[in-house]
Amino acid sequence: MDIRTRRAYEDMAENDGFRVLVDRIWPRGVAKKDLDLDDWCKDVAPSDDLREWFDHDPEKWGEFRRRYRHELDQCGAPIKDLIKRVKDGRVTLIYGAKDETHNNAEALRDYLRDKAV
């Protein structure tokens, strides 16, 4: 299983595999034609309430992950489809946050690794 994360502001790599944007909101300042996505999966992004509560505060990271995992457990078909995609080959989760450690793509990657066994 090969799940990678990449900021939307970074150049695409030839070996990214299936590229999916996992934010509910389109990354600011990025033209849709420039992102070169295979999918935009808004439904696996954190809810607006959770995203606003977290506000990219590293001190809230553990609780954010717990709450986000709960949301993902309730997500249904969209998360099941993404789990299947992960089992089929390399997937790169694209996100817009500045923090490369404390963001929803990193939490989602961990969730997918746990569920796609």
In whole angstroms, how far apart are CA 68 and each of 32, 62, 71, 75, 109? 26, 10, 5, 10, 12
Side by side, the strands of the sheet bearing 39-40 are 3-7, 91-95, 18-21, 39-40
Name the β-bridge partners of 7: 95
| Tens of each residue's pLDDT in the chain, 117 residues | 899 999 999 988 989 999 999 999 999 999 988 898 999 999 999 999 999 999 999 999 999 999 999 999 999 999 999 999 999 999 999 999 999 999 999 999 999 999 887
Residue 34: its pLDDT value, please? Answer: 86
Residue 96: its pLDDT value, please? Answer: 95
Domain boundaries, the chain: 3-115
Q: Which of 91, 110, 90, 112 is nearest to 102 (CA)?
A: 110
